[in-house]
Each structure stands twice: as C-alpha cells, then as structure tokens.
Amino acid sequence: MDARHRVLTTGDLVATENAFFAATGSPSAPRCAASGSGEAQSSHTHSLALDAVPVHLAPPHRRTPMERPPDVNSKPLSPDARREALARLADEELDVLVIGGGVVGAGSALDAVTRGLKVGLVEARDYASGTSSRSSKLFHGGLRYLEQFNFALVFEALRERALVLNTLCPHLARPVPFIYPLEKPIDRAYVGLGIGVYDVMGAGRGVPAHMKHLSRKKTMESFPSGKRSTIRGAIRFYEGQVDDARHTMMLARTAADYGALCANSTRVTGFLREGDRVVGVTAQDLESGNEVQIRAREVINAAGVWTDEIQRMVGGRGQFQVRASKGIHIVVPRNRINSATGIITRTEKSLLFIIPWGSHWIIGTTDTDWNLDLAHPAASRTDIDYVLDQANKLLADPLTREDVVGVYAGLRPLLSGESESTSKLSREHAVTSPVRGLTMIAGGKYTTYRVMAKDAVDAAAHGLEQLVPPSCTERVLLAGADGYLGDHNARHLIAERSKLHVSKIEHLLGRYGSLISELLDLVAERPELGEPLATAPEYLRVEAYYAASHEGALHLEDVLTRRTRISIETPDRGDAAAAEVAELIAPVLGWDDQHVAREIEHYRARVKAERDSQTQQDDHTADAARLGAPDVRVGARDAG
C-alpha cells in the first residue's frame, strides 16, 4: 500500500507533493525527506524526519493492469530516451555523474537522484554487462565471511537481504531453500554452530523459516540425487535469489524514472580538469562514434574491476588497488539433479553452490586470480572440470561435460591486500577521493550494493558545498515493485483478461512485476507477441521486443544474455534464437536487413569464441580464444 496518504505532518509536505507528481505523470521526481548530512541546516529549510514512520516511495508513473494513468512516459530507457539523455548530458551541468552501469553505479545514480540531485549515469557497454550479470545470483550474508569473523559484513548483508526480499523488489528477488550436507561426524556441531549464528544474525528476516537440522533420512528424501555413502544429514536454511542482470537494469530504469540521465554504450575517455579539480569527463558514444563532454560538479567512479584504469586517467596511483578474482558457473538441466532445495557445501578453496534456476541448476563457483581481458573473462576447461568434480562429490549420478548447457565467468572487484589467495581478500568496500571532484568506490559484494551506493554519494555530497538530503533508498521501491503483490494475487484474473495462460502471467510477474501491464498492452496491440519464442519457448516474443523498447537493450547480445538468459539456458547458447530475436527488435532499433545480418553474425561469433575458450586448458589460451570475437560496440574493445 502507498504510505503517502496519512494525516499530514511536516514530512507529508514532501510526500503529498510526491503523490501529486506520480498521479499527474509530471517529469518532476519524488524527493526524499531532508534532514541534513551532518551539517547545520539553513533557517529556511525544514527538518523533515520520516525515519520514525516507514515511507515507501514508488517510482513515478507506476502502472498496473488495474490502474492506467493516461499519457505517461514509461520508457525512460528507450532508444529515444537515450538519445535525449546524451543531448542533455552534453548541454547541462550535472550535480553528480556516475561512471559504470553495474549494480553499484546504477544504485549510486538512484541514490543521488532520489536526494534531489541532477544526475547522469554512463556505461561503456550495457547495464550489468560486467560482474553484475555474472554472479551467483544470490542475496546472501556470506557464510564464509563468518569463518573470517567478519560479523559486521555478514550482518550488513543479511539486513540488505531482508530489505530486498520484503520491500524494494519482491518481484525480482525471492527466498530459496538450501541444505548444507553434513559429511563428517563433527559437521553437525561445527557447521550447525556457524549456520546457527548466521540464522540468529539474520533473525529470519526476509525468509520463511529459521534453520532446521535434518537427519540422514530426511536429507535423502529432500535430495534423492545425493550420494548416500557421503551424506550423514544436513542443515536446511534460506537465502535470497535474484536475476542480477535484470535487477541492475531495473535500478538504472528506476533512476531514470526519477529523472537521471542514463546512457549505456557511452565510454569515458578522459577527465575534464580545472586546476586540481575534476569537473567532468570526455566520453564517446559507441553507437555513433560521437565525442561528448559532460560537465559535473562531482564524478563518482563505480567502474568495478576497471577502477584502476579510471584512476590512471586521472594520473598517478590511487589510494587503493582492485584485484580481479574470476568466478565461473555452469548451467545444467533441472532433471539432472533431483533435489527439492539448493545445495551449499564447502570446498578446499571456497564454497560450492548448486542453485535452482527455473528449469536449470546453476553450479559454481571458482575463486582465482585473473589479470587478462577484463571485459570478457573466459572459463577454461580446467575451471569447468573443477566445478564438475566438486559437485560430483555429492552426487550419486555424476555430471559430465555433456550435461553442461551454459557457462559464464565473472570478475569480483576485490580490494587488494597482502594475501596470495583472492578468496581471502576483503569483500568490504572502500570510498576515497584521490582528487577534488572525484569519488572512487570499490570492493564490496552484490548484496551490499545499496550501502556502497549510499556511501559513495555521501562522499560526493561533501564536495557539492550545499545541503544534500540523506539517502532514502531503503524506502525507494524499484520499478515494478509497487502493486506487484496485488497483481500477483490477481494473476488468474489477469490471465483471463489477457488470454494468456496463468503460468505465463506468473513468469512475467516474476520478471517485470506490476510493469506487466506494459507488456500486456503490447500483446493486445500485436497478439503475435504473446506467443513463445520458437527457439526459446520459456520466453514470450514480447519480452524480446520490450527489452529494446523499454529496457535499454541496443544489441542482440544485450537481449539474449542479460534481458533474457537464453545464452546460458539453451544448449546452442542462443544460436538459433539469434535470427528470431533480431527480427523482433529490428524495427524498434531502426535496423535494416544489413544491420540485422551483422548483429546475428556478431552474436554467433561470440558464441563460437566462448565455446572455443571453454575447451582450452588454461586462462591464457582461453582468453586468446575468447578474444577471437570482435565486440559489437564500436571501440568497445578498449573500453574501461
């Protein structure tokens, strides 16, 4: 329910204004309540204390199947919106410019714009094209950090897990049960104590139940594919799951809803300086090749594993260094493992996750140093065999390479320390300002993105020399969250009205939330869009179309690898779907037949290069094979 409608208090002056803007479709964004940033407030500024009463702000222009405000702009990431954003970025001075469209960058843009600042966000490739689409897809506290006695990080992450599951984006994140198999007599006490502490710290928030000890019999009933000679019992508990790429894109979309100027395929090439101060950046539009200067009072670098490269553009060595750690995951069909829950177990190097993912399992991960190409980390045959070997220690029917339908590799941006092992480097984040006008944020983990974004914007706000309201993103719902629960309850009615099967409505609600109305409008106008993709029937044709029209996808790869997960969920890695999807999105993106053919050729070359890399024995040969495919974005090979 929208919490804005209450007996008016001082704080409601802002909240009522927000409701007016949302109802009228005004481009003005809802504002957060100001209480200062640790500085004295002006005598002309009211102190608005909303912390006492949770106020959940929905993005402007919320639409559901039951409520359709007329003539509202619901396409903040459309091709036209991107062109307008680039034009305005070139013409207007921003309060804050964020570099990097990963989860921290998109989160920083949302944090800054909901404080009432004028914000821009630029990303060299696609939203979540780096680390933020290649994680384990979990919101979790991090069991292994308990072993390092990093209680603060675990507690913070568990708090964020609850916030995401309960409030910010229940349409994108959901609790998932896991078991931790016990293999040694001591495990019941040792592991039980660790997970017990983890459970107490999380206080059950955001998940349906507390941890539970299982006997061997109950464990095997839950996990029939388990190796009976190995497993003595288990502990059952919950974690949060999310489609990381969609979540990150929705952060950017929500920021754009509130007025942020967002442009992907826009690579920063240098910094604008006035004396010893950074006053903006030079950037290249990788779609047109055009150069642009973007002026900003403060710049936040949230470039993840590219942090050091951005620091070098400023000149000199930064106050911290980022070390890339590669983690790979494999995807196998759901019917290859019979289990009612996901599985988490300890390996000699890290943790192994066997994660339910629709009609598949995601299995990972590794944790190894990577100092080769940052844009396209490659999974080698050795990496894949390692994950299979670790999983097979628990499985009665071993997995083989022939079972693997998808593989992806990502890089964790770890703060560099003295340890030789990346698995022991810090996942805590750091914020610094190497020169005036520039804030750097690095480290951290996906689950704590919102805290990292808050800290980055807090640091940048100090340089603005004005009163800046505190962060309110713990109350800002992501696009699609407002009205989702009501729509989910009404899913049978929506199915009846749309003439789509209820399973398809549930699928769409789990990916778009209350934004489902926008897809159903498209289907009503063009009924053929309501049909499944012939080459990837888990997805509807409208989802591919909508990815280009509403979600910022500029290339075929963006649709097949991030807006959908066809590239890892089909045995041919999306090779057959490429032509079908390209034809669907061509009219939206203005492609002619030649452009369509080029996009298909690029995507298939990417698939071939990835497959080749996964047959190589080591990182260097795998990297060389992966680099055999050119990047579809102009000049993106050198992008940071």
As a whole number of angstroms, the distance between CA 86 and CA 325 comes to: 33
Question: Which residues, at least 6 apart from 628, have a Cβ–Cβ distance to it below 8 Å?
Answer: 605, 608, 609, 612
Token readout for 590 is: 């203005």
- Beta strands (DSSP E) in 257-350 are 261-263, 266-274, 277-285, 291-301, 322-333, 342-346
- What crossing angle do the helices spanning 449-462 and 103-113 adopt, rounded to 10°? 50
The terminus-to-terminus CA distance of the chain in angstroms comes to 42
CA angle 409, 172, 477 (to 5 degrees): 125
CB 568 within 8 A of CB 331: yes
What is the fold of 322-415?
Answer: D-Amino Acid Oxidase; Chain A, domain 2 (3.30.9)
CATH code 1.10.8.870 region(s) in the chain: 526-638
Q: What confidence score (pLDDT) does residue 37 get?
A: 38
As a whole number of angstroms, the distance between CA 199 and CA 193 comes to: 10
Give counts: helices (H), strands (E), the chain: 21, 20
Q: What confidence score (pLDDT) does residue 204 get?
A: 62
Cβ count near 8 (within 10 Å):
10
Q: What is the rounded radius of gyration, in angstroms, for the C-alpha atoms of the chain? A: 24
What is the fold of 526-638?
Answer: Helicase, Ruva Protein; domain 3 (1.10.8)
Length of the chain: 640
As a whole number of angstroms, the distance between CA 330 and CA 402 comes to: 12
CATH code 3.30.9.10 region(s) in the chain: 322-415
Element (H, E) at 369: strand 368-369
Token readout for 120 is: 């821009």
As a whole number of angstroms, the distance between CA 174 and CA 107 comes to: 20
As a whole number of angstroms, the distance between CA 214 and CA 229 comes to: 16
Q: What confidence score (pLDDT) does residue 74 get?
A: 66
CB 512 within 8 A of CB 250: no
444: exposed, middle or buried (Cβ count in 10 Å: 0-12, 13-18, 19+): buried
SS3 call for 370: coil
Token readout for 189 is: 């006490």
207: exposed, middle or buried (Cβ count in 10 Å: 0-12, 13-18, 19+): buried
CATH code 3.50.50.60 region(s) in the chain: 12-131+246-321+427-475
How far from 307 is each of 61, 112, 117, 270, 373, CA to CA, in Å? 35, 20, 24, 13, 14
Name residue, tokens 């944020």.
441
pLDDT average per 10 residues of sequence, the chain (640 residues)? 33 39 39 41 32 51 39 75 98 98 98 98 97 94 66 82 95 96 89 78 73 96 97 95 98 98 97 96 96 98 91 75 92 98 90 96 95 95 97 97 97 69 55 92 91 96 95 98 97 97 98 98 98 97 98 98 98 97 98 97 97 97 93 60
Of 3.30.565.10, 3.50.50.60, 3.30.428.10, 1.10.287.3610, the CATH number of 12-131+246-321+427-475 is 3.50.50.60
Token readout for 258 is: 């509130």
CB 14 within 8 A of CB 53: no
Cβ count near 543 (within 10 Å):
26
Token readout for 391 is: 């999983």
* Bridge-based pairing state of the strands 429-432 and 438-443: antiparallel
Residue 14: name the closest of 75, 72, 55, 43 by CA. 55
Whether omega for the bond prior to residue 9 falls within 30 degrees of 0, making it cis, is: no
CB 270 within 8 A of CB 283: no
CB 255 within 8 A of CB 106: yes
SS3 call for 57: strand
CB 337 within 8 A of CB 175: no
